[in-house]
């Protein structure tokens, strides 16, 4: 009995596979062939399994690409990146000129507009020059009057020289008269002495003696008059010479006055020239404040002129970055306004002090509560002419400056030098040579 039960219990287990194998497949029109069910109904087709999973290929490729990319970044950093000093505290600058009025007056013409490009010598602003033209004419007329005064004094000098010559002639005549009177006086004295001797010996008359005495006195008086005439003539000569000196001094004074008037004329012409304000260099007009008809005083701001063709970059590097920055090094300048486009520049110079030292209130760290703060030092960077020619680099724009501090004359770093074989290889090459 137990064997029959065991056979009966094991019969369903063996009959199911037999029955499954006995089921025939049913052909479904337009579909795959599916095995028949228990009651002859078609069973659903099993889902197709992928032959090989893509995940097993994608993950290694991604890992390999990451390793290659990281190795490339590391190599670039070792070769070049570690020698680059960068800062984003950098701005484009230019030597902007503030154009102001030199002379007061009403603005008669404004020849430029905001953001317009001008060249050196182009008219910017014209100030009414009527008063200045009159001032120039007045100065010229004064010079003409002074020239006439100088000419008049010159003629007076010539006339005075003639007077001096005349008085000198009179003085010479007076001296000749003195000599003549002296001769007459000597002759009269001798005649008097002879008459006196003759009168003492009763050989001459008393009348003759008196006549000789009178002649002697008359010649003495004539000589005295001649001497006085000489003195008068000499005084006249001296007076004429003094007048000549006065006239000469007046002429010199008049000539110097003419020099002052010529200086006043030059000043008037200079003021007249200042009524025409021209561009001192090529640039772009900005912040124009000049308006037609406005009255401006000396020093009134009219406009600003920006020389875009000579723009530069001031990069404020930290003091810890300055050790390797030197003039002449190449700089990569990423311009924010140009979507990060790189412009090649060159280090020109380093400021003599940090930016804080040139501030309105420079720091004084000689107190007890000192806190060390890393300072920044401006570095001037020159821009290439082709980048400035477009005018896209305008003062005030922020940029990112990256200085290449590696010495180009030194050998380029390689993996051998990283591994410590560079020096050995170079030494062996020297020995081989």
Pairing of strands 84-93, 398-404: antiparallel
Residue 345: closest CA among 359, 358, 360, 335: 335
pLDDT tens digits, one per residue of 181-209: 666 666 666 666 666 666 566 655 555 65
Res 29: pLDDT: 45
Domain architecture of the chain: domains with CATH: 84-94+307-362+373-426 (2.40.30.170), 97-122+279-304 (2.40.50.100), 131-274 (1.10.287.620)
Whole-number Å distance between alpha carbons of 282 and 116: 11
Whole-number Å distance between alpha carbons of 423 and 433: 15
Q: How far is CA 191 from CA 75, 184, 197, 214, 364, in A?
A: 141, 10, 10, 11, 114
Which three-class secondary structure state does DSSP give residue 11?
helix
Res 218: pLDDT: 67
- The residue behind tokens 């404040």 is 289
Mean pLDDT by 10 residues, the chain (433 residues): 41 40 42 47 52 70 83 68 84 94 95 93 95 96 95 90 81 73 67 61 59 65 71 79 89 94 96 95 93 94 93 93 90 88 92 85 72 88 89 90 80 63 47 39
Whole-number Å distance between alpha carbons of 353 and 362: 11
- Counting beta carbons within 10 angstroms of the beta carbon of residue 133, is it exposed (0 to 12), middle (13 to 18) or buried (19 or more)? middle
- Exposure string of 38-57, with b = 16+ CB inside 10 Å and e = fewer, is eeeebeeeeeeeeeeeeeee
Whole-number Å distance between alpha carbons of 222 and 226: 6
Whole-number Å distance between alpha carbons of 269 and 143: 14
pLDDT tens digits, one per residue of 159-181: 888 888 888 777 777 777 777 76
118, HSE (Cβ side, Cα atoms, 13 Å): 24
Res 22: pLDDT: 39
Quick check: 341 and 335 in contact, CB under 8 A?
yes
Res 411: pLDDT: 65
pLDDT tens digits, one per residue of 226-285: 777 777 777 877 888 888 889 899 999 999 999 999 999 999 999 999 999 999 999 999
Whole-number Å distance between alpha carbons of 229 and 178: 8
């Amino acid at each position: 009995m137990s064997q029959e039960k065991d056979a009966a219990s094991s019969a369903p287990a063996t009959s199911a596979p037999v029955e499954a194998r006995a089921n025939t497949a049913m052909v479904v029109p337009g579909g795959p062939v599916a095995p028949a069910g228990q009651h002859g109904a078609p069973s659903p087709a099993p889902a197709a399994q992928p032959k090989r999973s893509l995940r097993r290929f994608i993950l290694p490729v991604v890992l390999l690409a990451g390793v290659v990319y990281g190795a490339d970044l590391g190599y670039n950093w070792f070769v070049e990146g570690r020698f680059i000093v960068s800062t984003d505290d950098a701005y484009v600058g230019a030597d902007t000129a503030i154009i102001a009025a030199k002379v007061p007056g009403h603005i008669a013409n404004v020849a430029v507009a905001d953001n317009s490009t001008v060249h050196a010598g182009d008219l910017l602003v014209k100030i009414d020059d009527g008063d200045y033209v009159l001032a120039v004419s007045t100065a010229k007329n004064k010079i003409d009057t002074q020239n006439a005064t100088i000419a008049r004094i010159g003629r007076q000098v010539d006339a005075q020289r003639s007077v001096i010559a005349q008085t000198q002639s009179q003085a010479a005549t007076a001296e000749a008269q003195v000599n003549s009177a002296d001769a007459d006086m000597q002759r009269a004295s001798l005649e008097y002495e002879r008459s006196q001797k003759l009168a003492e010996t009763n050989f001459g008359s008393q009348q003759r003696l008196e006549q000789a005495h009178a002649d002697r006195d008359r010649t003495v008086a004539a000589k005295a008059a001649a001497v006085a005439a000489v003195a008068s003539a000499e005084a006249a000569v001296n007076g004429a010479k003094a007048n000549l000196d006065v006239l000469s001094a007046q002429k010199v004074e008049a000539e110097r006055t003419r020099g002052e008037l010529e200086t006043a004329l030059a000043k008037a012409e200079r003021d007249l020239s200042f009524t025409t304000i021209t561009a001192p260099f090529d640039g772009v007009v900005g912040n124009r404040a000049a308006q037609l008809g406005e009255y401006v005083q000396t020093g009134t701001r009219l406009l600003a002129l920006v020389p875009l063709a000579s723009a530069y970059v001031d990069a404020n590097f930290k003091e810890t970055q300055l050790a390797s920055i030197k003039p002449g090094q190449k700089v990569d300048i990423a311009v924010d306004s140009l979507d990060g486009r790189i412009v090649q520049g060159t280090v020109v110079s380093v400021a003599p002090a940090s930016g804080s030292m040139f501030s309105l209130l420079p720091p004084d760290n000689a107190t007890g509560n000192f806190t060390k703060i890393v300072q920044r030092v401006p570095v001037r960077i020159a821009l290439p002419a082709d980048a400035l020619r477009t005018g896209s680099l305008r003062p005030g724009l922020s940029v990112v400056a990256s200085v290449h501090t590696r010495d180009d004359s030194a050998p380029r770093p390689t993996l051998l030098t990283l591994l410590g074989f560079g020096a050995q290889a170079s030494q062996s090459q020297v020995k081989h040579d």
